[in-house]
Amino acid sequence: MQLLDGKKISEQLLEEIKADVEKLRSGNKKIPHLAVILVGNNPASETYVGSKIKTCERIGFKSTLIHLPDTIEEAVLLQKIEELNKDSDIDGFIVQSPLPKHISDEKVINAISPAKDVDGFHPENLGRMALNMPAFLPATPYGVITLLDRYDIPTAGKHCVVIGRSHIVGLPVSLLMMRNSKPGNCTVTVCHSKTVDLKSYTLQADILIVATGQTESVTADMVKEGAVVVDVGISRVPDDTKKSGFRLAGDVKFDEVAPKCSYITPVPGGVGPMTIASLLKNTLEGVKRKTA
Ligand code: GUN
């Protein structure tokens, strides 16, 4: 069993991006500028957004955090998005989810200019991605395929089973694994909360991608010997032996599944760090595309 070390690979990616930013700087070219809109005070979102901004600083990007109260009216948020669409200094921006209930996710996503949608959530980017046209790929799925690519894991002709069909992970990652591309060219099965006899599918997976948010729900009896397992989940589990009172766990029961795998992502240190690196890669690619 070999670990798919997302921490290590994301460090490599960030160093590559940083070197590109230095080249832009020495050539007096525009420095990539990412803006992040955060609405409200969801603690997990504050942590994620904080890491995104900190990582921008580390690699030499400009960044702007726009923190809005959770009472903000939808129309005011949409107006802010329009301002960012028009701001020529901003190369890309994201609106961190989840949003408060009174705000429509769909309206927000549709309001973002596809050319600045570095989260890759706009229907135009998702459509272009599905058709294998140049597009911003959603950060987590992009991180997953980059991890498989950097470990040179063969995917063509393999059976990839995805558990989960969310717009952020399950749906786009299943399309990416199916595309005529490398990584890709898998035969893909997508399982979800209404799937009957989940195990009968997961046992057939050469590559199993788990994105359900159901902590440690994939157990050893569900995994084929030699499978590649990618765990997208991350959650806190109470643990009295830890000073913090919790430990981080994925959607896969790592200790019992890992011995059966050829490759598996740890949690933390697997897909998580790849997500931020992929978002920043998108922002850099956006700048390059504009100036190409
Ligand atoms: N919330 C959880 N994951 C993401 C993400 O990739 N982008 C945004 N904007 N919000 C998220």
Q: Whose CA is nearest to atom 1 of ligand 1?
A: 97
Q: Whose CA is nearest to atom 3 of ligand 1?
A: 97
Q: Distance (Å, rounded) from C-alpha 58 to C-alpha 81? A: 26
- Residue at token pair 């950097």: 150
How many Å lie between the centroid of ligand 1 and the Cα of residue 290?
24
Q: Distance (Å, rounded) from C-alpha 115 to C-alpha 85? A: 9
Cβ neighbors of 71 (< 8 A, separation 6 or more) are none
Q: Is the CB of 20 under 6 A from ligand 1?
A: no
Domain boundaries, the chain: 29-113, 139-271
Structure-token pair, residue 119: 């989260």
Q: Is the CB of 276 under 6 A from ligand 1?
A: no
Q: Is the CB of 119 under 6 A from ligand 1?
A: yes
Tell me whether domains 29-113 and 139-271 share a fold.
yes
Q: Distance (Å, rounded) from C-alpha 282 to C-alpha 292? A: 15
Q: How many CA atoms lie within 13 A of 149 on its CB side?
A: 16
From first to last of its 292 residues, what are the pLDDT tens digits of the chain?
999 999 999 999 999 999 999 999 999 999 999 999 999 999 999 999 999 999 999 999 999 999 999 999 999 999 999 999 999 999 999 999 999 999 999 999 999 999 999 999 999 999 999 999 999 999 999 999 999 999 999 999 999 999 999 999 999 999 999 999 999 999 999 999 999 999 999 999 999 999 999 999 999 999 999 999 999 999 999 999 999 999 999 999 999 999 999 999 999 999 999 999 999 999 999 998 877 6
Please identify, by atom number, the ligand 1 atom nearest to the C-alpha of residue 119: 7
| Catalytic residue selected from 20, 91, 117, 119 | 119
What fold does the segment set 29-113 form as a domain? Answer: Rossmann fold (3.40.50)
How many Å lie between the centroid of ligand 1 and the Cα of residue 111?
16
96 counts as catalytic: yes
Counted residue by residue, the chain has a size of 292
- Residue at token pair 């994925």: 250
- Model-level pTM? 0.97
Q: What is the DSSP letter of 114?
A: G
Q: Is the CB of 99 under 6 A from ligand 1?
A: no
CA 23 to mean position of chain CA atoms: 26
CA angle 10, 16, 20 (to 5 degrees): 140
The beta-strand segments (E) located in the chain are 2-3, 33-39, 62-68, 92-95, 159-163, 187-191, 207-210, 228-231, 235-238, 246-249, 263-264
Q: Is the CB of 35 under 6 A from ligand 1?
A: no
Q: Select from 3.40.50.720, 3.40.50.300, 3.20.20.140, 3.90.1150.10 the CATH code of 139-271.
A: 3.40.50.720
